[in-house]
Structure 1
Amino acid sequence: MQYWLMKTEPNECSIDDFANQPSEVIRWDGVRNYQARNFIRNMHIGDEVFIYHSSCAHIGIAGIVRVTRSAYADPSQFDTESPYFDSKATKEKPRWDAVDLQFVRKFSQIISLDKLKALPELADNSLVKKGSRLSVVPFSKAERDAVLQLTSRQ
């Protein structure tokens, strides 16, 4: 199993969107950064993903979802009505991928970026480094376990 963090603005897709339909899957699409896309391509069914709320009043990790379908061609790249349309993408040579995710757990409190930065286990993680803007970030098991320890103190 691998561990990941995906950033989202809660008005687009929040942990509550997952929690409100726990038996349903939500397609994670619209990623338009090559490095983030490559991380998506490395995701497998069963991988755990932290949902991180950004660009909002309470920034931080809000909960966990699980990958239920590994990477496949993101349909929004072909939809001319979508803000994620890519005129260079073709069905034969798609450029962007999506994964399907399903709710696992919502944390009782958001784990703030300040608390995450204070964890020595995350010192080398790109999430806490200045200037990192990736929407998909890999986590090691040790990093994931350190974050989960914070939730047991809530």
Structure 2
Amino acid sequence: MAYWLMKSEPDELSIEDLARLGEARWDGVRNYQARNFMRAMSVGDEFFFYHSSCPQPGIAGVAKIVAAAYPDPTALDPESHYHDAKATHEKNPWSAVDVAHVRTFKRVLGLGLLKQQSALEELPLVQKGTRLSVMPVTPEQWAAIMALAG
């Protein structure tokens, strides 16, 4: 099993939304490196659910992959914010995965706290200039963050 971190703006999909829904499609990723990470995910992989672009950014909980990468339907939908005019049914460069709620943390683990942890200094999230919305997490980093969550 691999570990990941995926970012979502809470007004689009929050950990609370996912807990209420149980499962949801994770779509709208429009960065090739992040897309490639999504394509590397397997059913059963777990990820940290990171709330971004909000008053309290940070890791809000854990979710898991329940369906491996498939063509992102939002790329083909002209009404979608994530529409890609170059995408076609035959050639859709973007991917989505289905995810399920695992756990909501008692408190959001803020970016400032994460940056203070020496065990996380190699985590792309805490490195200057890294803005990827999907990234791998090592087993050691996973364990360090889970310890912070209690």
Into which bin does the TM-score normalised by the smaller protein fall?
over 0.9
> Residue type of the partner of 1:63?
G
Q: Tell me which moved more, 80-89 or 143-152.
A: 80-89
Identity of aligned residues (%): 51
User: In angstroms, what is the RMSD of aligned CA positions?
Assistant: 0.8
Give SS of 2:98's match: strand
Partner of 1:12: 12
List gaps (5 residues or longer) in structure 1: none
1:59-118 Cα distance to aligned partner (Å, 9 max, x none): 100000100000000001111111111121121121000000000000000001111111
Partner of 1:21: 21
Q: Which residue of 2 aligns with 1:128?
A: 126
1:89 maps to amino acid: A
State the one-letter code of the partner of 2:126.
Answer: V
Cα shift readout 1:135-154 (whole Å, capped 9, x = no counterpart):
001100100000000011xx
| Partner in structure 2 of residue 90 of structure 1 | 88
Match of 1:52 in 2: 50
CA distance in 2, matches of 1:18, 1:2: 21
Q: Say which SS state the counterpart of residue 149 (structure 1) adopts.
A: helix
TM-score normalised to the size of structure 1? 0.95
| Number of the residue aligned with 2:35 | 37
Matching residue of 2:112: 114
Once superposed, which parts of structure 1, at least 4 consecutive aligned residues long, lie more than 6 Å away?
A: none
3-state SS of the aligned residue for 1:102?
A: strand
Give CA-to-partner distance per residue, 1:12-44, whole Å, 9 cap, x none: 10000011123xx20000000001000000010
SS of equivalent to 2:104: strand
Q: Count residues with an aligned counterpart.
A: 150
Partner of 2:140: 142
Distance 1:141 1:147 in 2: 10
| CA distance in structure 1 between the aligned counterparts of 2:141 and 2:46, rounded to whole angstroms | 12
**Which residue identity lines up with residue 57 of structure 1 in the other structure?**
P
Deviation (angstroms), 1:120: 1.3
